[in-house]
Structure 1
């Protein structure tokens, strides 16, 4: 909380500085546009550099909001809307400066009891020092609430002037849904191909070998040789059964329905060939769709790490807060994972189908971090 207050405070101080520039810019733009307001050609000639300056100021504001206030606004807005934002934001910047000045005064009064004994004769009037400190800390408390309030107003103002319009938002949402629907279809197709490949290259080959062994044993006239062939066929049947169970587990684990997501993730950790630590901090069991995607994110990330990165340990963390589930898988392997590969790309499409996001950070030499954010409300 203290770190967040400090970041927001710095952001508001910077906003106060930019507010002075914006106020000066708005006054100069008004003085330049007022004489040519009745002449369209002259007005357009003057308005062109004014809009360019407004867009540049709006770009600086977007960077400040994203860096210090964690407010991200799309750059797809018109120059006129940027000019309106600049013309209105200076007042909010001044308000932020007043709040920060109030916080500074409160800190000064609150800590006056520390240095007041040295500067003044505080021994004779200790009550005034105590009351002054309490009043200062109360002023700091009010200023902190004011900081969060101004940050909320900053977000509303930026979204109103710089954010997409309702029609644009609907169009963007339709495009996202169309893309996610196509991605789901592609993911299902890829999954079917993988299952067919696993069955063809694994289980089917085992069954063919099993049939050949049984045929040879059936034609054999030597009892000892027949027993050896039957023993080999028995071993081959067990291998085929193990591979069939593995394929069925990769398709969908029954543990996920029977015991929940935590038990399924612990099973993934137990089946891995390297140590896997699981941290699970979810109060309520998420929905089936979210649990399934979270499971496959962990399963695919762990499988890829074991197969390609040669790690000595893998850490899995699952937590939920504010209607969002965060899943992360980190290994200490060699890194260099390709986010556009078939496995991770398929995971990204699974996550996107739930309006989630998947990120892969894997520099050469490691470590590799696969993180997913899923809505679970």
Structure 2
């Protein structure tokens, strides 16, 4: 069903391209004496943008000086697509006429149905249909390649922009690592270290004959151990390697002070870098919702979509979360390092939705 829908979409795109090619050819012929006019250039850019939309190409900006040459170059390709569609329609029409005549028991063009003749027409029809459909796919691919080459960004500028993005991402990752180290230091100093000092003092007092303090020292030791495990999990969840993402997220839900519903639907295990990023996205979003949003329910959805893993965390809290905040901006940099997408939707009054799209390629 999906393949048939995609085939119909291609047929429609190529047929529409044949119509627009005739329109653009007429536009070029009419404006030939005034090609340098700015209004002509603006109209050519609008037509080129419509063609890019038809081909499902998203250009931030069209290449300077590209629309007019592109319209001239794609006109014969569009006409070729129209001829391919016309031959396909004509062949289908003739096939229907032959089958209808033979179904009524009448000869078609003096030919009566026989086993060899039916086999000949059947095999020939299948071969011609294959060639016509291949022509449709080929014309569409040629149109996309032509648009990418003549309208898309200049390869040198695209490479320079990509280098700048990578440099910014690298700097952001370094900053995020330093920030995470500072947070770990604070957790150890303000929490675990103070508790261990208190534990040491309790044991020292118990050694001087106050045995009733041993129970208190035992409780402090248990609490220190729990805090140490929590800090270790925030640094890196060891269970992620052995148990996988679903079990690690179940652990996040168990430790959360707010009810968390987890739905993890992955047909296969993603790469380790993707698993780690997905885990920290969920962990940070759940922590923010529990601490700052006043949420009463958090839902976590993880599923595959094409060649990506989509992570979506939604809470029913007060909203107002800022994507530029320390934790969320660190997550955005972590996701960007994998060429992924990160989005935070948090209107005042809620709900807050954090979405990360992580490519698995």
- TM-score (norm: length of structure 2): 0.79
Q: 2:66 is paired with a residue of what secondary structure? A: helix
Query: Is this contact kept in 2: 1:108–1:136, CA < 8 A?
Result: no
Query: Is this contact kept in 1: 2:313–2:355, CA < 8 A?
Result: no
Which residue is 1:50 aligned to?
Answer: 40
CA distance 1:137–1:340, change in 2 (3 Å): farther
Matched, 1:179 2:164: no
Which residue is 2:78 aligned to?
Answer: 93
Q: After TM superposition, give the deviation of residue 108 of structure 1 in Å.
A: 4.1
Q: Which sections of structure 1, spanning at least 5 residues, go unmatched?
A: 34-45
Alpha-carbon distance in 1 for matches of 2:187, 2:79: 65
* 1:345 aligned to which of 301, 324, 329: 329
Mapping 1:119-138, distance limit 5 Å: 121-122=104-105, 125=112, 135-138=124-127
Alpha-carbon distance in 2 for matches of 1:318, 1:52: 41
Alpha-carbon distance in 2 for matches of 1:162, 1:55: 10
* 1:269 aligned to which of 240, 246, 250: 250
Matched, 1:315 2:301: yes
Which residue is 1:84 aligned to?
Answer: 69
Query: Is this contact kept in 2: 1:109–1:137, CA < 8 A?
Result: no
Q: 2:104 is paired with a residue of what secondary structure? A: coil
CA distance 1:310–1:135, change in 2 (3 Å): farther
Alpha-carbon distance in 1 for matches of 2:122, 2:29: 42
Query: Per-residue CA shift, 1:16-50, capped at 9, x if unaligned?
Result: 222122101211232345xxxxxxxxxxxx43332
* 1:8 aligned to which of 7, 10, 14: 10
Count of aligned residue pairs for this structure pair: 343
Mapping 1:213-362, distance limit 5 Å: 213-214=202-203, 216-217=205-206, 223=210, 226-227=211-212, 229-257=213-241, 259=242, 263-273=244-254, 274-282=260-268, 286=271, 288-301=272-285, 303=287, 308=293, 309-311=295-297, 313-318=299-304, 324=307, 326-330=308-312, 333-334=315-316, 336=319, 338-360=322-344
CA distance 1:203–1:343, change in 2 (3 Å): same
Q: Which sections of structure 2, spanning at least 5 residues, go unmatched?
A: 255-259
Matched, 1:142 2:131: yes
CA distance 1:111–1:194, change in 2 (3 Å): farther
What root-mean-square deviation, in Å, do the aligned CA atoms of Structure 1 and Structure 2 show? Answer: 3.5
Query: Is this contact kept in 2: 1:315–1:330, CA < 8 A?
Result: yes
Which residue is 1:36 aligned to?
Answer: none
